[in-house]
């Protein structure tokens, strides 16, 4: 079904003209969110309220150029356009299908009050799950090529909310534990930043980030609650190199009655363009993978060639054999190519992306995988050496395509990206444009992309559906080889409410063996085994890794859940939770009537009541519960789990007992 209405609705969008000043009001389709837009001599500004509660006070908009001055004050309206859209669209893969896209929009076209004044347009949209706006610089003689020195977008919050955030401009990119503080204590944060208030939850982020720098949120003063959009600069200080016509990413403010409802928002994807109608998506398939990976992170093996080399033909074939006996689609091999000698992350990269190291036969391994109905997942670790990589990129994707490889994991380990003689942040325009080249080249060779250490997600997978998943988070690897003690038990009940709002997370769950302290005495996975299973449901990704070693899965009946859990969904519903404490998510398989539930807790035990009213009424389901044993504990007894079966229907209410750092993973199979 596709229904687009293009209407002028005076009730939804009301305008007032008071001398030079003008005011418009834009309502969400359900009238719960109101966006006020106001033009005066100083600037165009916006404000937002939700159920009569002010969220953002009047906040100014504008841009500043290196050479052409500011574009903010002294503006006149040259045209105003309004429309309402109510349609659905079908993603190639995702958390639900179809997706409802319903909003009211106002486009204000402005010009500076002078004969040769620069032109600026701002598009505002209000959805039931939040608001968004973006700048458009139309083609104009008075502004052609430009360097943006600053974006003047303000976020003047009404309340000193509780903020969940990670700091920007740090060496480990997005790989930090989330901080919880008063909003006024935030100095400069990456997005999404999630804010919790009284009867409201808000997340500030962006959508459709392309040919631009990523936005961070910078406090305008010590202890203030007024923030500005701080674009991550190039090495020379410029924010964006552009030319008109140019459309900026959307600035997004997701709003819901609580943080759980935020998880059910499709705002970010809805704001991205549909994929080109003739795009070949036949090779794009969500799925599960294993790989030569965790054994390096826990220090049993190494990426470097030699005696401890992780990637060997024999080891790869062991993974393939295990995967072929299970419902696993792909096997990742890291460290198979030349260039991993010694401290590869410390020196200019010497990676050769098409030549295997001694002891690894890519032709044999990829052919063996295909013979077993599987595929190898390729690996392009660039160690942040962008030009070294780009010189080989086409050949490297081609090499994989010829061997039946249909997905590649990317890596950008390093504190800054190499850019000739200078170094760039991982989050500026340089990286945004590099990733676009990667995704385009991969698509040409029918390759899906899973990118680590990359730019945050802003929903571009709607337009480029081979951009499957990414890290951009402090993932499981930190419980393996990180020099500190790894992630805290509450980390995985924070990231769905923060990082997860931006898009899929390649967190790599599925650790079953917690006794790996031989080489990593200070590290541990801070969950129970049952919680590892639950993460397949609470952390969304169309490609999910079963991260542990095949021998650690052997003999575990719990692996059945990993075999069964899908990675593509018809419906997804965040049911209950509290950021930092717990989360329960239910999802229905895209290709069957079966449902799956994941419930996860922080370091505290808890008992949850779960109404099964999401199930189809008047049907019986066989429920298989994978849950913490009564004495399970993330530190003391992580591997203690039990599996129970019973018949249930939608009118039943279950009690879930989660132990400290624990969880429960549930499968509901429809009984015919
Ligand atoms: C960091 C990535 O996040 C990790 O998954 C990978 O194993 C290493 N880099 C090596 O490329
Ligand atoms: Ca990483």
pTM score of the predicted model: 0.97
Question: What pLDDT score does 8 carry?
Answer: 39
Using the mean position of ligand 2's atoms as its centre, give its distance from the Cα of residue 380 in Å.
Answer: 13
Q: Contact 524/514 with Cβ under 8 angstroms?
A: yes
Element (H, E) at 216: strand 215-219
- Per-residue confidence band for 116, with pLDDT thresholds at 50, 70 and 90: confident
Of 304, 469, 477, the one to substitute when testing ligand 1's pocket (max ligand atoms within 8 A of C-beta) is 477
| Statement: residue 670 has pLDDT above 80 | yes
Element (H, E) at 27: strand 21-27
For the chain, domains (ranges, CATH) are: 63-270 (2.70.98.10), 278-472 (3.20.20.70), 477-502+524-542+558-672 (3.20.20.70)
Please give the Cα distance from 521 to 539 (Å, whole number): 27
Ligand 1 neighbours by CB, cut-off 6 Å: 293, 334, 381, 411, 413, 452, 471, 477
Question: What pLDDT score does 15 carry?
Answer: 63
- Which pLDDT tens digit goes with each residue over 205-232? 999 999 999 999 999 999 999 999 999 9
Q: Contact 28/104 with Cβ under 8 angstroms?
A: yes
Phi, psi (degrees; rounded to nearest 5) at 121: -120, 150
- Per-residue confidence band for 19, with pLDDT thresholds at 50, 70 and 90: low
Rg of the chain over all Cα atoms, to the nearest angstrom: 25
- Which pLDDT tens digit goes with each residue over 565-613? 999 999 999 999 999 999 999 999 999 999 999 999 999 999 999 999 9
- Which pLDDT tens digit goes with each residue over 451-508? 999 999 999 999 999 999 999 999 999 999 866 668 999 999 999 999 999 999 999 9
All residues with CB under 5 Å from ion ligand 2: 452
Please give the Cα distance from 178 to 491 (Å, whole number): 7
Q: Which atom of ligand 1 is nearest to the CA of 475?
A: 3
pLDDT > 90: percent of the chain:
95
Using the mean position of ligand 2's atoms as its centre, give its distance from the Cα of residue 226 in Å.
Answer: 32
- Which pLDDT tens digit goes with each residue over 519-528? 999 899 999 9
Question: What pLDDT score does 114 carry?
Answer: 86
Measure Cα distances from 128 to 24, 51, 648 in Å. Answer: 18, 11, 34
Q: Contact 303/310 with Cβ under 8 angstroms?
A: yes
Give the residue ranges of DSSP H helices in 173-219.
Answer: none
Which residue in this structure is represented by tokens 């959307």? 250
Residue 617: CB atoms within 10 Å: 8
Question: What pLDDT score does 4 carry?
Answer: 38
User: What tokens appear for 189 in the block?
Assistant: 């944060």
Angle formed at CA 636 by CA 630 and CA 640, multiple of 5 degrees: 40
Q: Residue 453 CA: which ligand is closest?
A: 2
- Which pLDDT tens digit goes with each residue over 22-62? 999 999 999 999 999 999 999 999 999 999 999 999 999 99
Question: Chain-wide mean pLDDT for the chain?
Answer: 96
Contacts of 151 (CB under 8 A, 6+ apart): 62, 63, 64, 215, 228, 229, 230, 231, 239, 248
Q: Where are the beta strands (DSSP E) in 244-302?
A: 246-247, 250-256, 287-292
Average pLDDT over residues 362-374: 98
């Amino acid at each position: 079904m596709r229904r687009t209405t293009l209407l002028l609705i005076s009730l939804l969008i009301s305008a007032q003209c008071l001398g030079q000043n003008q005011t418009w009001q834009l309502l969400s389709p359900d009238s719960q969110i109101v966006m006020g837009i106001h033009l005066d001599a100083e600037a165009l500004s916006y404000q937002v309220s939700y159920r009569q509660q002010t969220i953002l006070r009047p906040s100014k908009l504008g841009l500043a150029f290196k050479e052409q001055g500011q574009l903010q004050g002294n503006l006149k309206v040259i045209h105003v356009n309004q429309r309402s859209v109510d349609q659905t669209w079908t993603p190639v893969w995702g958390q639900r299908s179809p997706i409802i896209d319903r909003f009211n929009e106002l486009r204000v076209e402005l010009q500076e009050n002078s004969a040769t004044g620069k032109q600026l347009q701002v598009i505002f949209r209000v959805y039931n799950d939040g608001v968004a706006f973006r700048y458009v610089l139309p083609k104009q003689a008075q502004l052609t090529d430009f360097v943006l020195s600053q974006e003047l977008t303000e976020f003047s919050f009404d309340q000193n909310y509780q903020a969940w955030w990670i700091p920007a401009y740090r060496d480990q990119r997005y790989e930090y534990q989330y901080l919880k503080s008063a909003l006024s204590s935030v100095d400069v944060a990456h997005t999404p930043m999630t804010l919790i208030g009284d009867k409201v939850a808000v997340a500030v982020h962006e959508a459709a980030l392309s040919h631009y720098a990523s936005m961070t949120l910078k406090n305008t003063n010590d202890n203030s609650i007024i923030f500005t959009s701080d674009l991550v600069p190039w090495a020379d200080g410029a924010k964006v190199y552009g030319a008109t016509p140019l459309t900026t990413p959307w600035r997004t403010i997701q709003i819901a009655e609580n943080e759980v409802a935020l998880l059910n928002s499709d705002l970010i994807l809805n704001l991205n363009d549909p994929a080109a109608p003739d795009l070949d998506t036949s090779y794009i398939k969500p799925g599960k993978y294993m790989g030569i990976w965790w054994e390096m992170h826990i220090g049993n093996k190494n990426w470097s060639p030699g005696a401890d080399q992780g990637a060997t033909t024999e080891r790869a074939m062991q993974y393939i054999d295990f995967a072929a006996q299970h419902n696993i689609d792909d096997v990742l091999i890291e460290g198979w190519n030349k260039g991993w000698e010694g401290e590869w992350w410390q020196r200019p990269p010497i990676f050769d992306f098409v030549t295997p190291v001694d002891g690894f036969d890519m032709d044999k391994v990829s052919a063996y995988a295909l013979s077993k109905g599987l595929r190898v997942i390729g690996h392009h670790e660039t160690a942040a050496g962008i030009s070294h990589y780009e010189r080989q990129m086409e050949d490297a994707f081609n090499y994989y395509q010829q061997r039946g490889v249909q997905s590649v994991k990317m890596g950008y380990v390093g504190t800054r990206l190499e850019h000739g003689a200078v170094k760039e942040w991982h989050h500026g325009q340089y990286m945004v444009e590099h990733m676009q080249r990667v995704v385009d080249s991969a698509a040409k060779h029918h390759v899906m992309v899973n990118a680590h250490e990359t730019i945050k997600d802003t929903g571009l997978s709607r337009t480029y559906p081979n951009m499957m998943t990414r890290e951009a988070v402090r993932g499981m690897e930190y419980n393996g080889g990180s020099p500190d003690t790894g992630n805290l038990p509450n980390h995985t009940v924070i990231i769905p409410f923060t990082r997860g709002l931006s898009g899929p997370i390649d967190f790599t769950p599925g650790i079953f063996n917690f006794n790996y302290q031989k080489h990593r005495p200070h590290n541990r996975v801070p969950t129970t085994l049952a919680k590892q299973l639950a993460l397949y449901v609470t952390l969304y990704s169309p490609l999910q890794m079963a991260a542990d070693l095949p021998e650690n899965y052997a003999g575990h009946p719990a692996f059945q859940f990993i075999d069964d859990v899908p990675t593509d969904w018809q419906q997804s519903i965040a049911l209950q939770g509290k950021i930092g404490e717990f989360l329960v998510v239910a999802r229905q398989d895209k290709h069957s009537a079966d449902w799956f539930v994941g419930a996860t807790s922080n370091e505290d035990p808890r008992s949850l009541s779960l109404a099964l009213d999401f199930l189809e009424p008047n049907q019986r389901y066989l429920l298989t519960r994978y849950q913490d044993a009564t004495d399970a504990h993330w530190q003391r007894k992580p591997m203690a789990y039990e599996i129970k079966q019973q018949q249930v229907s939608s009118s039943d209410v279950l009690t879930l007992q989660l132990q400290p750092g624990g969880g429960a993973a549930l499968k509901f199979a429809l009984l015919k």
